[in-house]
Amino acid sequence: MSLLEDRYRLTLRLLLPRAYRAGREDEMVAAFLEGSAGLTDEHNARPRWSEIASVAALGVRVRLGGPGAPPRYLLWGRVVRQVAVFGLFYHAMMGVVGLADFRQWAMGDPIDVLFEVGGLLWFAAYAVLLRGGAGLAKILAGVALVFVLAVVWRDPLSAALTLPLYAVPVFALAAGFHRDAPKPRSRWALVALPAVLGVPAWVALETVGKASLAPKIDLSVWSLVWPWLDPVGLACLALLGATVVHLAWGARRSPFHSLALAVLAVPILIARVHYLLFQGTDPITQTMTAVQAGQCVALALGAVALIALGARAVPASP
């Protein structure tokens, strides 16, 4: 065995599952060696970066439900794709909420207005994805993520703790909807669902916001409500509601939904920690901090329950 062949085999062992390599390793190594004809050990030859990248991409496709993948990898592929769909759905809905508040467009800071424009891109990415255009959806979601970066970069700590909430669905979209993945085809009702829910959500937020300015408002009561009304609080509320509904009715029928919801709990927990780092000493702030801590506990317990249910349906490793 030549040095180059040994390095090719090492690359395949590092990047490809054993079950996939079992019947293909020799053929793949022979193809690589044929493309590197003329190189000997004296040249200290190594696999080209393009070859390593192609093998790495193949490894991702196989592990996320590519052709010939065992049932375990097919399940993980569905989980990652569902993470992308759920994440884009939430950001699309919040984009509709931001669009409904026209004051942000007319009077807001230019950077904040850029963030609201990004909300339209989230909605477009979600709609295009559900109609089968995964490639265009990746571009739209990537641009929307850049808009988010333009807003949060002003506070490095905030960026580190809130960015995963936006980045995880984009990475799941890029990895899960690879060229061998099945293309989603959903009804227009699901495409329009973020708008159907986003407008009432905006009305509710506006109503609650105006009520909080009433002269006789009891701030001790509203301190229990406010932590649920910021973007992270709404994400907590949405995920906890979805968790309860799923555990009650859908856990046995769709275990990949359980694991997808558990994955999404992680970036929401990280984002909520951002607010827990800034605790005040006044009673109102302490109450809000207690509510936010309770949200973290509820998310963690829900994620554990989801993982326990979803793990039962994960097939054995090939």
What are 196's two structure tokens?
A: 């159907």
* Of the candidates 146, 152, 157, the residue with the CA atom closest to the CA atom of residue 122: 146
Residue with tokens 């997808």: 260
Could you give the maximum distance between any two Cα atoms of the chain, in Å? 85
CA distance 58 to 12: 10
Distances in Å between the Cα of 198 and the Cα atoms of 95, 101, 123, 170, 309 are 8, 11, 11, 21, 30
Segment 110-168, tens digit of pLDDT: 666 777 777 889 999 999 999 888 899 999 999 999 888 887 777 777 777 888 999 99
| Confidence (pLDDT) at 255 | 78
| Torsion region of 295: left, alpha or beta (phi above 0 gives left; psi -120 to 50 gives alpha) | alpha
For 267-296, write each residue's pLDDT tens digit.
999 988 877 776 667 777 788 888 889 999
Give CA–CA dist 163/147, Å, rounded: 11
pLDDT digits (tens, 9 = 90+) for 183-238: 777 777 788 888 888 888 877 777 776 666 655 666 667 778 888 888 888 899 99
Tens of pLDDT, residue by residue over 19-33, are 788 878 888 888 887
